[in-house]
A and B are shown apart, each in its own frame.
Chain A
Amino acid sequence: MIEALSLTKVYGGKAAVDGIDFQVKPGLVTGFLGPNGAGKSTTMRMILGLDRPTSGTVTIGGRGYQGKVWPLHEVGALLDARAVHPGRSAYDHLHSLAAANGIARARVGEVLEQVGLTSVAHKRAGGFSLGMFQRLGIAGALLGDPGTLMFDEPVNGLDPEGIIWIRTFIRSLAAEGRTVLVSSHLMSEMALTADHLLVIGRGRIIADMPMSELMARHSGDRVEVRSADPERMAADLRAAGAQVTLEPGGMLGVIGLGSRPIGELAAERGHVLYQLRDVTASLEEAYFRLTGESVEYRAAAAVTSGAVS
């Protein structure tokens, strides 16, 4: 289990991580979700003892990372897959990591086999594709057969085949009872991988809940209505207790009233309807609603949910 208590990191007077508390539990894939610059990588670096917290603590299995001896037996991490000397072979790279933690040399061949890099094991890593780097990084995380695994943006830049491979692999690791923390800035990716979600924005935890709960709570249904007199229609809908937004082209976006009562109300008040449509909010929209307040750097113009990534 990974546990953070009031974890804070301040860079140049600005809090990149602002007093966050969370627990990452075994047997689940915990998604660490947030826009770029929200503090995901900083938090992960603090978990691994690479960055020193300004205040607060974070522990794995009850102990801080700095005090661990041969930690690869306990924790495996993929931070930056490209962090490999380009002139060194995949085999030598993993061998040096294994040797540092007293891991048998035979294990290097095993993890290379597991990620499907056996055929290029002795090639210089400089010629690897991004997908191969990701596989090599995962092999490194698996060397010590650790109970806790952390992956920072593992599907970034991968082709569809690679994405499916990593997704399946991560799920199987959690199914074996391991603690798995996966960061991403893509809600759609998390929806397919994570059981539990930690949403971070501007250095604070915005949501900490099971994936299913987040989906239920934040994807409220919406109805789109077109009518001959949108102004009067909007006033009538509001009077009935709905939340109405007037959108371009006379479209009304209605939340809090289903399409059926809206139709009945229109008939009762003599409105002419051109369109009445149920819209189910996507997870991306739910995510955007959550992080809308906390996006660090956004274009000044109209922001749509697509722009969050």
Chain B
Amino acid sequence: MSARAGTASRPVIGLDLRLRATAGSEWIKFRSVRSGPFALSATALTVVVGAWLLGDANRGSYLAASPVGRAAFDPVFTVFQGIELAQLFVGALGVITVTGEYASGLIRGTFVATPQRAQVLAMKALVFAVVVWACCTAMSFAAFFLGQSALSPAKHAGIGDPGVLAAVFGAGLYLTLVGLLGLFIGVLVRRTPAALAVLFGLLAVLPIVFAQIPGTITKNLGEYTPDAGEQAYHLLPDGAYTLGPWAGLGVEAAYVVVAALVAFALILRRDA
């Protein structure tokens, strides 16, 4: 303990090692609190059990429907409608992953350990995205198979049918992007209730507002709300949206990118 006070020189630490250390730390933080498992279980319950209930409920109505109604029936979207509720759980998880750290003051400890704040935020977002994507994609596969078996013998889809695999992956991607949007909004707002209000406003209120106001302007704007990404898990085009699955996900991703850019700028500039 004699050569002290920062005189000891340590070997230079490579960027890959630093990024791995930050990601490792973020993963430990993610898995060591209950909010992650809780929110993801609620999501799984809503998406998977929802798919079975929706499949079961729509089987009879499909068989009783007219030929026109049958042609418009989208067996994939029908069983994935639980995502509209589940997205709030995933989005809330993204929010509290960040705001929980601000609320407890832990964010200062995090930045004392890693003064490279952009690196912290990037690894936090990466760990979150990987975990949420893996869970939500697994859920959407489970939901698809359970939902389709419940729909049978009414019109149902096989995983090999055209567009189906993309739709199932699209559902997982949609939820992951919602979670990331929540995470970056959490950085911008820093307080849990306000961040949740902003996120739910964007996801649930804004589309309804545009849908309720008549006119072509609101209809066109309505195409560009964050939930445009929902088209990713439609097999047939949805009446309200015309962009299509990939452009729809692109609109949603654009919201995430803008929120991320502002979040990175603010986290670097603000006092912690």
The interface of chain A, by Cβ under 8 A from chain B, is 1, 26, 45, 48-52, 60-63, 65-75, 77, 79-80, 82-89, 92-93, 95-97, 99-102, 140, 147-148, 176-179
Q: Of A66, A70, A147, which contacts B5 at CB under 8 A?
A: A147
| A177 and B2 in contact, given A69-B18, A85-B100 (Cβ under 8 angstroms) | yes
Q: B residues within 8 A CB of A52?
A: 271
B28 with A50: CB separation less than 8 A: no
Nearest chain B CB to A196 CB, angstrom units: 15
Q: Are the CB atoms of B6 and A147 closer together than 8 Å?
A: yes
Whether B114 lies near A100 (C-beta < 8 A) is yes
Residues of chain A with a CB closer than 8 A to B2's CB: 177
Q: Does any Cβ of A come within 8 Å of B108's Cβ?
A: yes
Closest to B12 in A: A69
Known: A26-B4, A95-B32. 17 other contacts (CB 8 A): A45-B272, A48-B108, A49-B112, A61-B6, A72-B113, A79-B112, A82-B105, A83-B106, A85-B104, A85-B106, A87-B34, A89-B32, A92-B32, A95-B28, A99-B24, A100-B22, A101-B113
Pick the contact of A100 from B7, B108, B110 — CB < 8 Å? B110
Residues in A with CB closer than 8 Å to B116 are: 69
User: Given A92-B28, A92-B32, A96-B28, A84–B1 Cβ distance below 8 Å?
Assistant: no
Q: Determine if B153 is an interface residue (Cβ-Cβ < 8 Å).
A: no
- Residue of A71, A99, A148 touching B115 (CB-CB under 8 A): A71
- Alpha-carbon distance A63/B115, docked complex (angstroms): 13
Q: How far does the alpha carbon of A120 sit from the alpha carbon of B100 in the complex, in Å? A: 23
In the complex, which residues of chain A have a beta carbon less than 8 angstroms from the beta carbon of B112?
48-50, 71-72, 75, 77, 79
Residues in A whose Cβ lies below 8 Å from that of B68: none
What chain B residues lie within 8 Å of A147 (beta carbons)? 4-8
Contacting residues, chain B, for A148 (C-beta < 8 A) = 5-6
A97 lies within 8 A of B6 (CB): no
Residues of A within 8 A of B13 (CB): 69-70, 102
User: Would you list which residues of chain B between 89 and 122 have a CB under 8 Å from chain A?
Assistant: 100-101, 104-106, 108-116
Cβ contacts A to B, 21 pairs, < 8 Å: A48-B112, A49-B111, A60-B6, A61-B6, A61-B7, A65-B115, A70-B21, A72-B112, A80-B108, A84-B104, A84-B109, A87-B34, A93-B32, A97-B113, A99-B25, A100-B113, A147-B5, A147-B6, A147-B8, A177-B2, A177-B5
Q: Which residues of A contact B1 (CB under 8 A)?
A: 176-178
Question: B residues within 8 A CB of A73?
Answer: 10
Which of B10, B17, B104 has the most A CB atoms < 10 Å from its CB?
B104
A148 to B1, CA, bound (A): 12
Given A50-B111, A50-B112, A52-B271, is A178 in contact with B4 using a C-beta cutoff of 8 Å?
yes
A65 closest partner in B (C-beta): B115
Q: Which residue of B lies closest to A69 (CB)?
A: B13
The CA-CA distance from A62 to B6 in the complex, in Å, is 9
| Interface size classification for chain B | 35 or more
The docked-state distance in angstroms from the alpha carbon of A193 to that of B219 is 70
Task: State whether the Cβ of B29 lies closer than 8 Å to any Cβ in chain A.
Answer: yes
8 nearest A-B pairs in the assembled complex, by CB-CB distance? A61-B6, A83-B105, A100-B25, A92-B32, A147-B4, A96-B28, A26-B5, A51-B271
Q: Are B5 and A1 in contact (CB under 8 A)?
A: yes
Min Cβ gap B99→A in Å is: 11
Q: Is the C-beta of B33 less than 8 angstroms from some C-beta in chain A?
A: yes
Are B24 and A88 touching (Cβ within 8 A)? no
Chain B residue numbers with a CB within 8 Å of A50 are 108, 111-112, 271-272
Q: A51-B272, A95-B28 are in contact. Are A102 and B5 (CB under 8 A)?
A: no
Residue of A nearest to B1 (CB): A176
Bound-state CA distance A295–B32 (Å) is 43
Residue in chain B with minimal CB distance to A1 = B5
Chain A, residue nearest B8 (CB): A147
Alpha-carbon distance A92/B26, docked complex (angstroms): 11
B35 within 8 A of A: yes
CB distance from B153 to the nearest CB of A (A): 47
Contact residues in A for B25 (Cβ distance below 8 Å)? 96-97, 99-100
Verify B34–A99 contact, CB threshold 8 A. Answer: no
Q: Are A96 and B4 in contact (CB under 8 A)?
A: no
Closest to A24 in B: B5
Given known contacts A83-B106, A100-B21, is B115 in contact with A179 (CB within 8 Å)?
no
Q: Are A179 and B104 in contact (CB under 8 A)?
A: no
CB distance from A36 to the nearest CB of B (A): 18
CA–CA, A179 and B6, complex, Å: 10
CB pair A71 B113 closer than 8 Å = yes
Considering the chains assembled together, what is the distance between the CA atoms of A263 and B18 in angstroms? 74
A73 to B113, CA, bound (A): 9
* B113: chain A residues within 8 A (beta carbon): 71-72, 97, 100-101
Interface core residue of B10, B26, B112, B116 (most chain A CB under 10 Å) = B112
* B13 (CB) vs chain A CBs: closest residue: A69
Q: How far is the CB of A176 from chain B (nearest CB, A)?
A: 4
CB contacts (< 8 Å) of B33 on chain A: these are: 85, 87-88
CB of B187, distance to nearest CB on chain A (Å): 16
Q: Which residues of A contact B34 (CB under 8 A)?
A: 87
Q: For the complex, give the distance between the alpha carbons of A100 and B101 in Å.
A: 15
Q: Complex Cα distance A205/B113, Å? A: 28
